[in-house]
Amino acid sequence: MCETGCGKLAEIADHYIPAAIYIEMRRGKNLIPENAFFDMGNLQSLCAGCHRLKTIEDDKHIANGGPWVELGRPAKKWSF
Q: Using the rule CB under 5 A, is 2 a contact of Zn ion?
A: yes
Give me the long-range contacts of 32-41 (CB less than 8 A, separation at least 24): 39/75, 40/75, 40/76, 41/70, 41/71, 41/73, 41/74, 41/75
Phi then psi for 78, rounded to 5 degrees? -80, 145
Binding segment for Zn ion (CB under 5 A), chosen from 2-10, 12-20, 27-35, 58-66, is 2-10
Q: Which of 15, 39, 47, 58 binds Zn ion (CB under 5 A)?
A: 47
Stated as kind and residue range, the H or E segment containing 16 is: none
- Give least dist CB 29 to Zn ion, A: 31
Q: Which of 15, 50, 54, 58 binds Zn ion (CB under 5 A)?
A: 50
Q: Which is nearer to Zn ion, 6 or 31 (CB)?
A: 6
Task: Please state, in angstroms and rounded to a whole number, the distance separating the CA atoms of residues 18 and 3.
Answer: 17
Residues forming contacts to Zn ion in the complex (CB under 5 A) are 2, 4, 6, 8, 47, 50
